Amino acid sequence: MISHQDYKEVCQQSIEMCEAAGLLLTKEDKEKMTAADFGLNRIKQEGIQILTMFETDRIAGKILVLLPFQTEPEHWHPTVGDDPGKEEVIRAISGELYFYIPGEDTMEHGFIVDGKSTCYTMRHEVNMKPGDQLVLPAGTKHWFQAGPSGAVMYSFSSKVTDLLDQFSDPDVVRQTIIEPEPSK
């Protein structure tokens, strides 16, 4: 569970990072910014902030934001019924982004979250700078982490099935629970 205060803080920080990257956000966009802590209760270490720009039955576009050194846990988008799984294109907008995918261990810039070496098994590092793009076929196990200034990126994908994502960390709970706002 994430505290209401932490939730508001990471969402506001993410809005500011988007605007600093030159993205024009409407009042409605700012209200739609959300955060996921994956039930790990360490949002600033393991989590992500998400602004869904559009979502149809077939495609979706999101802005993803990682705070400095924040990590999205290792996961993959599985086959769902007749659907082969979500395909995703990540395009870096600002900051430095370390992406980990299958392949030879080339980890140089990022780090494994303390105590989680069995939960972050992909070690092939793709160091993404603004303008760089990475295509993730359906079912590709991956995780990513921001550098010291955080990272803002676009995610364009086929049909969103995020609540069905599979995670290497058995403690992950996909549905984020936010404490109620304290009474005034």
Residue 179 lies in a domain: no
Global pTM reads 0.94
Number of residues in the chain: 184
Residue 121 lies in a domain: yes
CATH number for position 11:
2.60.120.10
Residue 125 lies in a domain: yes
**Residue 159's pLDDT is what?**
78
Average pLDDT along the chain, 184 residues, taken 10 residues at a time: 91 98 97 96 96 93 98 93 89 98 97 96 97 96 97 92 85 87 74
Residue 32 lies in a domain: yes
Q: DSSP for 114-168?
A: TT-TTT----EEEEE-TT-EEEE-TT--EEEEEEEEEEEEEEEEES--GGG-EES
3-state class (DSSP) for residue 20 = helix
What tokens appear for 158 in the block?
Answer: 């086929």
Residue 183 lies in a domain: no
* Residue whose C-alpha is closest to residue 167's, from 55, 56, 36: 36
Task: Indicate the number of domains in the chain.
Answer: 1
72 close to 119: Cβ distance less than 8 angstroms: no
Q: Give the range of the structural domain holding residue 104, as residue numbers without chain letter.
A: 4-167
d(CA 12, CA 146): 17
In terms of Cβ atoms closer than 10 Å to its own Cβ (0-12, 13-18, 19+), residue 116 is middle
**Residue 184's pLDDT is what?**
66
Residue 173 lies in a domain: no
Residue 69 lies in a domain: yes
**Residue 80's pLDDT is what?**
80
Residue 184 lies in a domain: no
Q: Where are the beta strands (DSSP E) in 42-87?
A: 48-55, 59-66, 71-76
